[in-house]
């Protein structure tokens, strides 16, 4: 039995394929940074893709390849280990990206760790700005 947001009990039996299709998807994310140039260098080296800079006055952005998120420098954006944890796609094997973290100026918090045979692997890192983020892959 599950309790839905409206407080009603619902007996719901879903197979894993249906459950995955029902998940909300992320349309956009913003990673707070205190030094956009430093952060752009870190993420550019981590993902081996350039970061496109966008100056909007007090708000400065570094658009990440793929167009689904950005690095943001603004007084209201504070890098942190607190709050939501964003996991990037680690490709075929997240170990390749995790190996780039420290040379790029970050810190590995949790090495590649298996979640389960079905869910694959995860790893956590701290970026050059002090944000806690993750990587996920099947291998």
Residue-wise pLDDT for 105-116, tens only, equals: 999 999 999 999
pLDDT at residue 93 above 70?
yes
Q: What is the pLDDT of residue 66?
A: 87
Q: What is the pLDDT of residue 67?
A: 87
pLDDT class of 4 with cuts at 50, 70, 90? very low
Q: Exposed, middle or buried by CB within 10 Å (0-12, 13-18, 19+), for 22?
A: exposed
Sequential DSSP letters for 63-132: EPTTSSEEEEESTT----SSS---EEE-TT-THHHHHHHTTTT-EEEEEEEEEETTTEEEEEEE-TTS-E
Can you read off the two tokens belonging to residue 87? 């996991």
**For residues 2-23, average pLDDT:** 53
pLDDT at residue 92 above 50?
yes
If one compares 18 and 90, the residue with the highest pLDDT of the two is 90
Q: Check: pTM over 0.75? Answer yes or no.
A: yes
How far apart CA 114 and CA 112 sit, in angstroms, is 7
Residue-wise pLDDT for 32-90, tens only, equals: 999 999 999 999 999 999 999 999 999 999 999 988 999 999 999 999 999 889 999 99
Asked if 120 contacts 139 with a C-beta cutoff of 8 angstroms, the reply is yes
**For residues 97-123, average pLDDT:** 97
How far apart CA 82 and CA 112 sit, in angstroms, is 21
**Gyration radius of the chain's alpha carbons:** 17
Q: What is the pLDDT of residue 57?
A: 94
């Amino acid at each position: 039995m599950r309790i839905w947001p409206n407080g009603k009990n619902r007996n719901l039996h879903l197979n894993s394929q249906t459950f995955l299709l029902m998940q909300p998807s992320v349309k956009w994310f913003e990673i707070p940074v205190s030094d956009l140039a430093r952060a752009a260098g870190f993420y550019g080296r981590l993902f081996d893709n350039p970061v496109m800079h966008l100056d909007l006055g007090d708000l400065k952005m570094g658009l990440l390849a793929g167009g689904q998120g950005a690095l943001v420098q603004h007084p209201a954006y504070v890098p942190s280990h607190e709050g939501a944890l964003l996991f990037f796609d680690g490709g075929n094997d997240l170990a390749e990206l995790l190996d780039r973290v420290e040379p790029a100026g970050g810190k590995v918090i949790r090495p590649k760790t298996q979640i389960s045979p079905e869910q694959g692997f995860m790893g956590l890192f701290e970026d050059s700005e002090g944000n806690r983020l993750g990587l996920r892959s099947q291998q």
